[in-house]
Structure 1
């Protein structure tokens, strides 16, 4: 299975090494903010709320709950992640890394795109290691791309995660 993050690598060689090691309470940390962003997208696609919550910066965790993350994640079919840019910015003499990305997903019978410029910081994790964490982000775009009709080909066939499956109608695929 290709990794949902769009890296064109298989899941075991890509985001699984972070998500599954976290689930096993072992530490394998993303080396770069972009890797953390990709693993968080994959965790949304897999509805892995504990990983998503744990990768928020400590100051951001109070604004989110495992239940809210899980509910939002399960309401969507995550289709594709496109990373546009990764850069370093300085805010109040602190280096903050940013990643600009677009996430495509199905929600309430519509295909949507959300473009965000996310900010990442390093902080000490529960294993006393310095780790990248998602601080926050600016939503640059959040639009409905199209309304999906039940008898048309499911939009998931148009994105990277086709996985050689025969095209199905929306009502027999993501719309059921």
Structure 2
């Protein structure tokens, strides 16, 4: 190969490497639908082999008519916890929820006065404390077999024990 041919080949390789990534991406197919919201259904420990028309008919029907995907949780610890999956989904890379033995970031103080308190600002009113409060169902007892993710596992078990009560508690909480 002559030096001129080598130089031309090198120039073509460099131009290809520089210009190909600069080309515009392909357009979306015509007639496609766009969505401004998505629903993420997360089920810890579920694998696609568990989903079939007989055992999980509703999940099967949802998967048939929806775009679906799978997230492989990559936690910063060697063991993944329940909340690590949600942290990974929100962060886009390795993330983790603090373990019980780690410090949790401080929670800001409420800006609304608690029931029975006199507000510093008269325009801000306390929530109506006359409304009856539903008792929160107790968490299941702690198991000595729980890993360092024990708190997260207990919270997940409480939600699985009574899903309607868990959803109602989250819906009633103005912070969520």
Normalised TM-score (structure 2): 0.19
Higher relative strand content: 1
Higher relative helix content: 2
Normalised TM-score (structure 1): 0.19
Larger Rg: 2
